[in-house]
A and B are shown apart, each in its own frame.
Chain A
Amino acid sequence: MSSPNRAAAALAIAAAGLLVGGVALAIFWAPEDVDQGFSQKIFFIHVPVALTAYAFFGFGAWKALRLLSTRNSRYDLESYTAVHMGVIFGLLTLVTGSIWAKTSWGQWWSWGERQLVLFLIVFLFYSAYFMLRYSTDPGPRRERNSAVFALFGVALIPVSFLAVRIAGTILHPTVFTHDDGVAMPWEMFLAFCICLGGVLALAATFYRVELAGKRIDESLKELREQLA
């Protein structure tokens, strides 16, 4: 097995182990939340998925910056793949968050919650990335436009992440605060960290596989053009 394949396989195995272990600890070992009861267990999947979406958008912006500074086309594909994965994890964040909202607040969505609305804006912004990308022919112009768009989007992330802390909130809970640190028992925090590690390892596996697929696609396209 080649080295990249071995790394992807190791990541996949780590993801499976961490996710199974983390979810088991979250459900059967971590104490129930005093306010929300059992429904708070959604936190262990919802928050890691949301943080992974943010990480992908940030990673996509970093690759976009590399493209603009070096003009190397490989960063375009890497930035595009990161945004692609970020949108998938963003959609999962919205769906799992809605399920949590329904059981915890009694409603699927609240337009009054700034953090939810700002996350939706970030998600829709990055969804529009694909429309921009595929409205231009492949080439340096499309690479530059996509990179600038990905860079603009990343400015929304700190706004979205800090919105609930700056503006104050009624419904959406804030677990990690600047003043009090981690506002949860250590058992919960440990289970959360393992789940976060599992989701990040899974996301990294998906990223590698997706990027390899896109690179093979491009190579085959080039080969087809040469043989035509």
Chain B
Amino acid sequence: MTSAEKYVLAAYLVFLAAVLAYLVIIALKVGRLEQELGDLVRLARERRDG
């Protein structure tokens, strides 16, 4: 692999890594939102049942 090819590969990998990192962040966020929603639903049920 030539030096130019390595740099081109690096640039495209940076882009791919950013996309994958964003997916990981979104997955973690969805998990957190799911947990928060579950807590609120539980709290609302407790209120309803007295």
Contacts and interface: CB of A to CB of B under 8 A. Distances in A.
Given A206-B22, A213-B26, A220-B33, A103 B14 contact: no
**Majority DSSP secondary structure for residues of A touching B:** helix
Given A38-B4, A96-B11, A216-B33, A227 B26 contact: no
Contacts of A96: 11, 14-15
Given A45-B15, A92-B18, A223-B40, A39 B33 contact: no
A92 B15 contact: yes
Interface string B1-44: 01111011011101100110010001001100100110010011
A41 interface: yes
Interface string A202-228: 100010011001001100100110010
B26 A42 contact: no
Contacts, number: 60
Q: How large, as a class, is the contact surface on chain B?
A: 20 to 34
A177 B23 CA distance: 36
A216 B3 CA distance: 46
A63 interface: no
Contacts of A206: 22
Contact of A224 (B3, B18, B30, B40): B40
A220 B40 contact: yes
Nearest to A23: B12
Contacts of A224: 36, 40
A49 B14 CA distance: 12
B7 to A, nearest CB: 4
A103 B37 contact: no
B7 A99 contact: yes
Given A42-B11, A92-B15, A37 B33 contact: no
Interface of B: 2-5, 7-8, 10-12, 14-15, 18-19, 22, 26, 29-30, 33, 36-37, 40, 43-44, 47
